[in-house]
């Protein structure tokens, strides 16, 4: 029988996957239509200009990690007084961060946009509108983080899912408005996309104020707690900066060496990567609060079990869609997009490989954050990941193909995965050998035969849409069977057998 913690994870995972399915379907459709309405050039411009804002807003990721870690930690300890103080201090920090982002964007950001990017002269006016809307969109997202973190920390995933679906529906509405309103499409798209997070942020604030007494902001000051928050956020910021610099720095290098068409391909690949990562990160969202709460209560054994389980499940979920996508990338993009930008196919395939490495390691990052001891971790991680920019610059400078920007990113991510695994052993005596045998080795035992058999079966499925559908279905079935036979343990197989038997008895026994 599932304990209360596992039941909560299972229920929250269901909500998150309903959210994910809606978001993925709508996002794939909207990306196609936006590419049609904006065109490859404007789509590439929007991607690179928005990428500059992400680069300036590296603090967002750092404060998100800090907010969720500290709020979840106090909820695990059931300390309402400290929780309320923590939320108020986090909110104050985000007000400060919003001001910092605004100043950086309106000085360094404006200078970079108008003097350094490779943008056609006739689009500079629209580019500046996009930049301004992107700045305010980012600030709104910054101010939403504490409320979002509170919802996740309390594991209220039903509300989290509903608001995400509403936000996705609003983005779909934006797409339908593009051909109706007769102004510059690029400026219009950026302006309407600003209104969407504004509305969802107001919904988060209203819900938290009504549901959680501890989420009502009251200015409080606790120097020791503020220093803990600042220190944690500072080291997280270092890691986030290197990660974003590697991604958006590569995007800017593509613009400088290959132009906006390469940026359009990179934008498509990033959306595919986001869709794939969302498929498994929904599971991690359900696991992460429990991992942190187990650490706060001293349940080390339970925490390790959750990390191992989350690593396996997340990597298998990515694999289920990664294999058919890797084999049929060109067909999928042809069905999805009217015009496939050059390099889009190989960019998408490389992004999928990156996600496979990333997802199998993601729960280890949650474990490190739970301890609060992140200085050493982010020092070596940042030093490693930031190498992506100079190495990619050099390779592009000597004439290597643009896809090497992503290949270098994959290699560095693989090296960081090895170091991360060693680091958690040192930090919390994590069972690294168990992790290798029960997670990494089992993943390889599943991935290699599943990919090989799927490639062979593709030869018998034919070409075109029907061939892709046949191959995708066969790939998912083959991968699922191999996961069942080789990827999970006896207890997990027993649970699956019992679930299937219960489902059959409930739905078909009467017939």
d(CA 153, CA 73): 9
Helices 441-458 and 464-482 cross at an angle (nearest 10°) of 150
* CA dist., res. 241 & res. 198, Å (int): 25
Mean local confidence (pLDDT), 372-397: 87
Taking 80 as the threshold, does the pLDDT of residue 299 lie above it?
Answer: yes
The count of C-alpha atoms lying within 13 angstroms of the C-alpha of 281, restricted to the half-sphere facing its C-beta, is: 14
pLDDT recorded at residue 495: 65
pTM of the model: 0.73
Percent of the chain topping pLDDT 70: 87
Rank 49-63, 127-141, 237-251 by mean pLDDT and report only the highest. 127-141
> Predicted confidence band at 176 (pLDDT cuts at 50, 70, 90)?
confident
Across 10-19, 244-253, 472-481, the highest mean pLDDT is recorded for: 472-481
Structural contact between residues 131 and 53, judged by C-beta atoms closer than 8 angstroms: yes
* pLDDT(92) > 80: yes
Any alpha helices (H) in 372-463, and if so which ranges? 375-385, 388-397, 404-428, 432-435, 441-458
Residue 107 has pLDDT above 80, yes or no: yes
pLDDT band at 2 (very low <50, low <70, confident <90, very high): very low
> Using 50, 70 and 90 to split pLDDT, how confident is the model at 445?
very high
Percentage of the chain modeled with pLDDT above 90: 7
Distance CA 413, CA 408 (A): 9
Which residues lie closer than 8 Å to 121 by C-beta, 6 or more apart?
Answer: none
pLDDT in tens, 193-214: 888 889 989 998 999 888 887 8
Supply the pLDDT for residue 1: 40
The mean predicted confidence, pLDDT, of the chain is: 81
Q: Do 481 and 473 form a contact (C-beta atoms < 8 A)? A: no
Q: Degrees (nearest 5) of the Cα angle 322, 328, 332?
A: 95
> For residue 491, what pLDDT band results from cuts at 50, 70 and 90?
confident
Please check the confidence at residue 274 and state whether its pLDDT lies above 70: yes
Picking from 90-99, 173-182, 345-354, 433-442, which range would have the lowest pLDDT averaged per residue?
Answer: 173-182
- In this model, does residue 392 exceed pLDDT 80? yes
Q: Distance between CA 199 and CA 197 in Å, rounded?
A: 5
Lowest-pLDDT range of 83-87, 187-191, 398-402:
187-191
**Position with higher pLDDT, 207 vs 501:** 207
Angle, CA of 4, 362 and 240, to the nearest 5°: 125
| Confidence band for 407, pLDDT divided at 50, 70 and 90 | very high
> pLDDT tens digit string along 125-167?
878 888 888 888 888 888 888 898 888 888 787 787 788 888 8
Contact yes or no for 159/78 (Cβ under 8 A): no
| DSSP symbols for 17-70 | HHHHHHHHHHHHHHHHHHHHHHHHHHHHHHHHHHHHHHHHTTHHHHHHHHHHHH
> 170-184, 297-311, 459-473: which has the highest mean pLDDT?
297-311
Q: Which residues contact 217 (CB under 8 A, 6 or more apart)?
A: 87, 88, 91
> Is pLDDT of 383 > 50?
yes
């Amino acid at each position: 029988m599932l304990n209360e913690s596992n039941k909560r994870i299972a229920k929250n995972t269901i909500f998150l996957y309903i959210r994910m399915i809606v978001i993925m379907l709508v996002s794939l459709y909207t990306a196609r239509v936006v590419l049609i309405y904006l065109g490859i050039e404007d789509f590439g411009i929007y991607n690179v200009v928005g990428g500059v804002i992400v680069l300036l807003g590296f603090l967002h990721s750092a404060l998100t990690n800090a907010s969720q870690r500290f709020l979840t930690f106090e909820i695990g300890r059931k300390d309402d007084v400290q929780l309320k103080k923590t939320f108020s201090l986090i909110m104050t920090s985000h007000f400060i961060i919003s001001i910092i982002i605004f100043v950086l964007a309106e000085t360094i950001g404006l200078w970079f946009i108008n003097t350094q990017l490779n943008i056609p002269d006739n689009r500079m006016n629209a580019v500046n509108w996009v930049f301004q809307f992107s700045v305010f969109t980012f600030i709104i997202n910054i101010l939403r983080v504490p409320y979002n973190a509170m919802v996740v920390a309390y594991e209220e995933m039903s509300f989290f899912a509903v608001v995400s679906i509403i936000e996705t529906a609003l983005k779909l509405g934006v797409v339908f408005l593009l051909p109706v309103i007769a102004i510059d499409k690029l400026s219009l798209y950026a302006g309407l996309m600003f209104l969407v997070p504004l509305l969802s942020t107001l919904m988060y604030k209203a819900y938290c104020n009504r549901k959680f007494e501890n989420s009502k902001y009251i200015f409080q000051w606790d120097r020791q707690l503020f220093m803990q928050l600042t220190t944690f956020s500072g080291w997280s910021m270092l890691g986030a900066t290197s990660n974003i610099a590697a991604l958006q720095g590569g995007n800017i290098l593509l613009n400088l060496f290959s132009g906006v068409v390469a940026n359009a391909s990179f934008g498509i690949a990033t959306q595919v990567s986001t869709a794939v990562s969302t498929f498994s990160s929904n599971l991690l969202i359900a696991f992460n609060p429990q991992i942190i709460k187990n650490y706060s209560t001293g349940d080390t054994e339970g925490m390790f079990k959750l990390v191992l389980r989350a690593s396996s499940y997340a990597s298998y979920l990515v694999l289920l869609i990664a294999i058919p996508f890797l084999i049929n990338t060109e067909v999928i993009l042809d069905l999805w997009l009217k015009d496939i930008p050059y390099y889009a196919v190989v960019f998408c395939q490389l992004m999928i490989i990156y996600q496979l490495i990333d997802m199998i390691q993601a729960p280890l990052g949650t474990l490190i954050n739970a301890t609060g001891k992140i200085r050493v971790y982010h020092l070596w991680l940042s030093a490693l990941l930031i190498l992506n920019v100079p190495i990619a610059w050099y390779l592009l400078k000597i004439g290597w193909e643009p896809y090497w920007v992503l290949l270098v990113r994959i290699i560095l991510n693989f090296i960081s995965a090895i170091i991360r695994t060693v680091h958690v052993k040192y930090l919390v005596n994590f069972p690294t050998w168990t992790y290798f045998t029960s997670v990494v080795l089992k993943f390889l035992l599943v991935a290699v035969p599943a990919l090989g058999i799927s490639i062979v079966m593709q030869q018998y499925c034919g070409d075109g849409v029907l061939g892709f559908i046949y191959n995708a279905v066969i790939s998912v079935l083959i991968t699922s069977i191999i996961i069942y036979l080789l990827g999970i343990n006896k207890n997990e197989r027993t649970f699956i057998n019992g679930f299937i038997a219960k489902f059959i008895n409930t739905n078909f026994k009467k017939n």
